Structures are given as structure tokens and as C-alpha cells.
Structure 1
Amino acid sequence: VHSQVHKGQHFFITASTANASATDILGIVLTTPATKRVHFVDEFGGSAAVIHTLVENPTVANTSKVALVEFNNDRESTKAAGVVAVTISDTDVSGGTTLQKHVLGGGLQGRTGGNLTARAELNLKQSEDYYISIASDGANNDISYLGLWYEIDS
């Protein structure tokens, strides 16, 4: 991975929401490029309990999308990411294959939060959508997300 940073092929996105209610969801859709292999890991957390889900090939009915900035880890590089990342404002997502599901935190009334980094790198399919949801499971929850990947020509 370190060599990919120096080649300008390593990228990241961040997203967050403050004071989420116990039913709020931070939803992100990643679309992978047709000409690159994407090697992906992510990290998420909350000040209260959260549930993280990663779904491959979902049906996303939501048309209200806000683009996220895909940053290059090599801050001197002018290479742009092939992955396109957006947030979606609701949970009108169905189908697909659930690849990961994590419950983080708990404790008394879901008030214990924490942070989790995925240890297994996924090689994502080309020309595919991936839905990432971080669902709040506690009131006044500050939720954060970090997606990291590098891209190699296929």
C-alpha cells in the first residue's frame, strides 16, 4: 500500500454527521471504474453505538446525491480517483449482496461508542456500485466514516 501512495494511486474519502438520532443513517455509494482494480478498506465510528453495512450491487432508488471529494493521499499528485463517491439522503436501497455487517458499541442505552477499522482488504468488482451505511443506534450520535483505497490498472 505504501508504494501506491508514492505512485499517486491511493485515495480516501471522509464523511460525518453530528447529533444523529437513534434512527439516522449516513449513506454512501461508491461506484468503481471499469478500467481500474480497486483495493478497499474502511473505518467508521460513533460517539454512541453504530451499525456498519457494506452491500455490493444494490438497487439505489435515491436520486438526491451529494458528491464527496476523493482525495489523493499523495498531496503533490494530480492523479484523480477513478472511484466516484456520493452521499445519499435516505435509505431507499434494496437488494445486493451484504459483504460486511458490524455492530460497534452498545453499553447502557447504546451510549458507548468507539471506532473500527476493517482489517481485510477487499478487491472490489469493476463497474459496480457499493452501498455503505453507518446507522446510528443511539441518540446524539456523532458518526464518522473514512474510506481508503488504491487503484491499479486492470
Structure 2
Amino acid sequence: MRILIVTAVVVMAPALAQAEALELICEGTASIASTENSKIDTGVSNGFGTNHQMTMKSESVRNSERSVAIRVRDDGTGDAKLPGWGMPLWVTKSADGWRPLTDLQMTDAEISGRFKLNGLNNPTFSINRKTGRMHLRMYGASFNGDCSKAPDKDAPNKF
């Protein structure tokens, strides 16, 4: 009986190892939209000593290097983290910065889902499992990057 139990554990060990959480670090470029309003004095007086002003609105997109972390557990739940991103003013509180994933789909070809930053901003993402390419879209910003498995916590230091 003991031999049978040991054999079952040895045979099932690879399957149990595959069921562990998948943690990905995605590094790439974030495109963040910004709008700026400027008032310009037209130099034209209205006859009462007041100059007219004109408001100019300029929109731009700022690109910067960012990272996104995605964690998928074996029970089909997961989390996302945007370290170092400037968060919107009204962000739902998160003690450790990880945000629960919703609509999580994991197939052989793709991992996709969404998470909540606040009531108006629910970013969506997709990761191609063959290429590791991630696309993330949110209100006022987007992110494109390459994902790789996060280093194992027990892995030796690189240096």
C-alpha cells in the first residue's frame, strides 16, 4: 500500500507543479493622453480697459516605459498590478496595489480579462501566450509590452 501511494505522488507531481499560480511581468510602453488649456491675451481691448482672452486647448500623447504585473492562480482567479503608474485621482483602495481580475479567460492561445481602477476606469488586457505580447487599454491610456514569467521566489540571485 505504501508503494502505491508513493507512486501516485511521484506520477502526479508534474501535474501539481503545473497548477501553481502563473505570475507575469510585462514591460513595454505606455501611451498616456493629456490635455492642457492655455489662456492667451489677444491684445484686443473691449473699450472698458479689459483685454479679451482666448483659450487654447492642446492634446498630446506622452509615451513612457512602464510595467504591468499579472498573477493568475490555479483556481481561475487573478490580480493585476500597475507599479509606478500615476493613478487617477479616484482609485478604489487596494492595500498592496494588486487589483482583482474579472472576466478572466485563459486559453491555450490567450489570457485576457479586466480589472477595476475606479467606477469609470475598468482596463481590459489580452496576452498572447505564444508571443508574450500584451495589450492593455484603459480610459486615457494604453500599454503594449512583452511578458515573461516572473522569477521564482526561490531562484538564486543573478548577482
Specify which structure has the bigger relative contact order, considering alpha-carbon pairs within 8 angstroms and separated by 6 or more residues: 1
Which category describes the TM-score, using the shorter chain as reference length?
under 0.3
TM-score by length of 1: 0.25
TM-score by length of 2: 0.24
Instruction: Flag the structure with larger Rg.
Output: 2
Flag the structure with higher helix content: 2
